[in-house]
């Protein structure tokens, strides 16, 4: 199939009307995703945060047996709350503790002193099984960490309200569980609340490694950590933008991948980077009064989070964080000093803003889990010199796929600049567009208009490769 680059078709895509090569226009938005977005409640998020703060401290090494104080009481409440959501939605949401003992010798040396003796770490896991047999093995994860700390890392008794870090992200994960468990998705959703983040990503690393060992297909992970503050340390206020951090070169890149990248580029096209672009597009589509600021960096400068644990196990994962942080309200024992209130207190987070972050997470997760898998075996048709660009891919295994779109951008552009719906085909030639100068990708589209993330082509397979001209 050869079609000349069609500026009109591209325009149609940009105004939201995707017209297949034959047949009816595809819907631009899935009404089910719109409905899910509308059900996210800032009031519910506010209540979750206040309840989590009420446990005084959620330090990973704090007491576990007391009623109403410490990390044990906090995780028992999270579990019971998720079980309530499960009952309200007919019991399909499966809630359990993922409990294990971490031995200091198994912790990265630089964090080892933070867990001086073997300690029980408990993640709370709520799983909503996928409803389509051809997609249920595909898993999407949303996560927040429910542990907290105050100024002194090893002080397990001080009050550590952790309203922003990270009751806000835990509230996003829990609120999504509440709303989304009432719906059915093709793929499986996992709503995580993890512990031991402040001690070196212990809970998330355990779950991600377990998923890798079990060969689970974790297609994407969204980490919400510090998503509640709208006023920075200065006077600037912003409640309309969230940062999405994504790694460029995958942390688990192999030597062979490295050699290929050095030959053809691709530093800005890791699966995590495609996931970040997906969140940005999803905001435009479903939460138009809210914006993603993509940051092309694994995390904030020199800092880390639970998504990195997933990256290290080979999974695509990104981090959501508020645009403006206020360091007086993170990892600070509550106190007044020189007329300044320190401490990660609930009055410094905005439930309305967190609800917007949750809406974006919900729309992203729903679009991914209702949508088709990203195209596989995507390759260029010719290795080196060519005036046109032939791309081919394997037919998508899902029965709901309507077709495919080819996307492209300048090598220096952060976002896909062009999208062309090419119909239900498995190859396409872009006349007069060269892979020397552009980055290309392919995505699948289903009958409800849900898009898969983009897959970037690899070089031709040896069998199919044609010698360069």
- Provide the binding-site residues for Zn ion, judged by CB under 5 A: 165-166, 225
DSSP string, 27-75: PSS-HHHHHHHHH--HHHHHHHHHHHHTTSB--TTS-SSSSSSSHHHHH
Asked whether the bond before 166 is cis by omega within 30 degrees of 0, the reply is: yes
Other C-beta atoms closer than 10 Å to the C-beta of 284 total: 12
**Residue 46 in tokens:** 């506010």
Task: Name the minimum Å distance from CB 325 to Zn ion.
Answer: 11
3-state secondary structure of 409: strand
Task: Name the minimum Å distance from CB 147 to Zn ion.
Answer: 8
Task: Name the minimum Å distance from CB 427 to Zn ion.
Answer: 45
Q: Interior CA angle at 18 toward 16 and 23, to 5°?
A: 150
Task: Name the minimum Å distance from CB 226 to Zn ion.
Answer: 6
Of residues 170 and 313, the one with the C-beta less far from Zn ion: 170
Task: Name the minimum Å distance from CB 312 to Zn ion.
Answer: 17
Of residues 282 and 332, the one with the C-beta less far from Zn ion: 332
Q: Where are the alpha helices (DSSP H) in 287-376?
A: 306-312, 351-370
Of residues 312 and 325, the one with the C-beta less far from Zn ion: 325
Of residues 147 and 175, the one with the C-beta less far from Zn ion: 147
Task: Name the minimum Å distance from CB 162 to Zn ion.
Answer: 8
Task: Tell how strand 241-245 and strand 291-295 pair up.
Answer: parallel
Of residues 281 and 325, the one with the C-beta less far from Zn ion: 325
Q: CA torsion, points 358, 279, 225, 170, in degrees to nearest 10? A: 30
Task: Name the minimum Å distance from CB 164 to Zn ion.
Answer: 8
Contacts of 253 (CB under 8 A, 6+ apart): 261
Task: Name the minimum Å distance from CB 448 to Zn ion.
Answer: 35
Task: Name the minimum Å distance from CB 17 to Zn ion.
Answer: 41
Task: Name the minimum Å distance from CB 149 to Zn ion.
Answer: 9
Of residues 55 and 278, the one with the C-beta less far from Zn ion: 55
**Residue 222 in tokens:** 């969204």
Is residue 242 within 8 A of residue 227, CB to CB? The reply is yes
Task: Name the minimum Å distance from CB 175 to Zn ion.
Answer: 18
DSSP string, 425-469: -SEEEETT--TTTEEEEEEEEETT--BPPPBPPBPPPTTT-B---
How far apart CA 209 and CA 217 sit, in angstroms, is 12
Of residues 18 and 149, the one with the C-beta less far from Zn ion: 149
Other C-beta atoms closer than 10 Å to the C-beta of 120 total: 14
Q: CA torsion, points 238, 239, 241, 245, in degrees to nearest 10? A: 90
Of residues 58 and 359, the one with the C-beta less far from Zn ion: 58
Other C-beta atoms closer than 10 Å to the C-beta of 409 total: 19
Q: Where are the alpha helices (DSSP H) in 123-265?
A: 168-180, 202-213, 255-264
Of residues 166 and 419, the one with the C-beta less far from Zn ion: 166
Alpha carbon 351 to chain centroid, angstroms: 20
């Amino acid at each position: 199939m050869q079609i000349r680059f069609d500026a009109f078709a591209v325009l149609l895509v940009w105004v939201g009307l995707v017209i297949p090569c034959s047949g009816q226009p595809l819907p631009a938005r899935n009404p089910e995703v719109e409905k899910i977005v509308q059900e996210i409640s800032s009031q519910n998020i506010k209540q979750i945060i206040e309840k989590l703060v009420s446990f005084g401290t959620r330090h990973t090494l704090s007491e576990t047996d007391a009623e109403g104080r410490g990390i044990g009481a906090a995780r028992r409440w999270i579990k019971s709350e998720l079980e309530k959501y499960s009952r309200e939605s007919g019991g399909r949401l499966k809630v359990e503790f993922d409990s294990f003992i971490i031995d200091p010798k198994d912790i990265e040396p630089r964090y080892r002193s933070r867990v001086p003796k073997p300690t029980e770490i408990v993640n709370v896991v709520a799983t909503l099984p996928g409803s389509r047999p051809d997609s249920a093995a595909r898993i999407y994860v949303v996560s927040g960490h429910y542990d907290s700390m105050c100024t002194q890392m090893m002080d397990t008794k001080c009050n550590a309200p952790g309203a922003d870090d990270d009751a806000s992200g835990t509230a996003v994960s829990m609120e999504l569980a509440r709303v989304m468990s009432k719906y059915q998705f093709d793929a499986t959703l996992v709503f995580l609340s993890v512990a031991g983040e402040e001690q070196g990503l212990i809970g998330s690393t355990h779950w991600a490694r377990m998923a890798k060992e079990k060969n689970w297909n974790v297609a994407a992970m969204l980490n919400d950590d510090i998503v509640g503050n709208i006023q920075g340390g200065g006077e600037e206020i912003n409640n309309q933008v969230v940062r999405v951090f994504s790694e460029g070169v995958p942390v688990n890149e192999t030597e062979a991948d490295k050699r290929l990248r050095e030959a053809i580029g691709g530093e800005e096209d890791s699966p995590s980077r495609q996931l970040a672009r997906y969140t940005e597009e999803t905001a435009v589509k479903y939460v138009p009064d809210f914006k993603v600021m993509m940051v092309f960096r694994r995390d904030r400068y020199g800092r880390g989070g639970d998504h990195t644990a997933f990256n290290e196990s080979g999974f695509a994962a990104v981090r959501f964080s508020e645009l403006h942080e206020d360091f007086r309200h993170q990892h600070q024992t509550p106190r007044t000093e020189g007329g300044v209130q320190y401490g990660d207190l609930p009055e410094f987070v905005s439930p309305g803003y967190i609800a917007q972050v949750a809406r974006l997470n919900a729309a992203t997760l729903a679009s991914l889990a209702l949508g088709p898998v990203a195209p596989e075996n995507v390759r260029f048709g010719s290795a080196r010199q060519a005036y046109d660009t032939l791309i081919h891919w394997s037919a998508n295994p899902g029965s709901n796929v309507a077709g495919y779109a080819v996307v492209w951008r300048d090598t220096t552009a952060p976002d896909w600049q062009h999208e062309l719906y090419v119909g239900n085909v498995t190859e396409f030639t872009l006349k007069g567009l060269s892979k020397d100068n552009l980055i290309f990708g392919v995505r699948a589209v289903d009958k409800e208009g849900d898009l898969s993330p983009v897959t970037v082509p690899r070089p031709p397979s040896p069998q199919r490769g044609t010698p360069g001209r």
